[in-house]
Each structure stands twice: as C-alpha cells, then as structure tokens.
Amino acid sequence: MLDNKGFDLWADGYDESVGVSYEENTYPFAGYKEILGNIYKAIMEKPNPAVLDIGFGTGTLTAKLYENGCEIFGQDFSSKMIELASAKMPNAHLYQGDFTQGLAEGLKRQSYDFIVATYSIHHLRDDQKIVFLKELLDHLKDDGKILIGDVAFSNREELNLCKEKNEDVWDDDEIYCIANELRAEFPGLVFRKMTFCSGILTLHR
C-alpha cells in the first residue's frame, strides 16, 4: 500500500473538476490519486523501464515517471497536450495521433516494458478496445504489462447500478471497461477494484 508521500505525488497537475470529484469520492474520479499512485509504484519496481502512455494529456503521471528515470513514449490526440507535456519532458518521444485508429507509426517500431492508459481508453467502443489492446500486446516486451486505470467495473450489473445512481452526471459518450466481458478475449486479465466506479486492469504479454 502506498503511503501519503506516494499519494502526494499527485497533489498538483489535475484540474479542478477531477479534484472535486476525487475529494468528494464521486463518479467519475473517485480513487483517481490511488489509481495513478499504484500504477506509478508498479512501474517503478523495474529499473529504467520503457513506458508508453496512451492519452497522456499534460503528463500528470508520465512526468513523474520521466523524472525518475523512465524512458517515456506517448500518444495523444491534442497538439496542445503534447506542447504542455513536452515542456515537462523534453527528451520524451511524444506523438500526435488518434488512438481510435491505432498506434502512431513512430510508436510501432518500439517495444515497451509497460503500456499505460489512465482515463483515456473509455473513448473507444468495446470492439475498438479489443482491437487496440491486441495491437498493444504485440508491442510489449516478454515480461511487459498493460496497465489501465479508469472508470471500470467487474460486471455489467455494477456499471448499471452506478449509472442509475449518477444519471444526472453520467457521460454516455464514454464506454467503460467491464472486466468479465473483456476476459472473453483476454482470459488473463486481472482487475483490481479500487472504488465503486474505478479500478486497475492489468494484461500480461
């Protein structure tokens, strides 16, 4: 379990809406700091890993990894996000691209110790997730892992209950991971439930 110092890594750099939802333990960002903190801890157990971040935004997670010796690769749709992240990580390998269309060409030539997606993969439909995750698995090193931190549920019943309780703020444009449905394609998937609406999914090569 991370101590307070670990969670304090995420005290800065997340926007006001994330902060309010996290502090009030409400959908969609309940558990946000804990999810990023646990992913950070898992990655830092390996010396100087190569990390690919899908949808890195301003680099909240990846900047911390970069500062601590990770070789950072990333893909994001937004040129502004890349500009902001590049200022924090001048030697990172950051590419602009819509990951609904797969990996950017420059990233396909690499293999990675970890591929992370925090609060990004919900922009893919369920069928797109399967195609994209299979592509990502092909780019892992032999002992590599995909780590997904997001709004996620063990089963569809949990999702429907959360949607019912949060219907006023529910985002129908976001398609959340459901662990037992993804296991039909990825039998080795591990889901660590962190809150009533979030968790970490892990896939091994």
Max intra-chain CA distance, the chain: 45
CA proximity to 188, closest of 204, 165, 168, 167: 204
CA proximity to 192, closest of 42, 24, 14: 42
Sign of CA dihedral 41, 45, 48, 53: negative
* Per-residue pLDDT of the chain in tens (205 residues, 90 and over written 9): 334 444 344 444 445 668 788 889 999 999 999 999 999 999 999 999 999 999 998 888 999 999 999 999 999 988 888 998 999 999 999 999 999 999 999 999 999 999 999 999 999 999 999 999 999 999 999 999 999 999 999 999 999 999 999 999 999 999 999 999 999 999 999 999 999 999 999 999 8
**Single pTM value for the model:** 0.91
CATH class of 4-96+109-204: alpha beta
Show the DSSP H helices in 114-205 as ranges. 126-137, 156-165, 179-182
Cα gap 135→67, rounded to integer Å:
28
User: Domain segments of the chain: what residues?
Assistant: 4-96+109-204
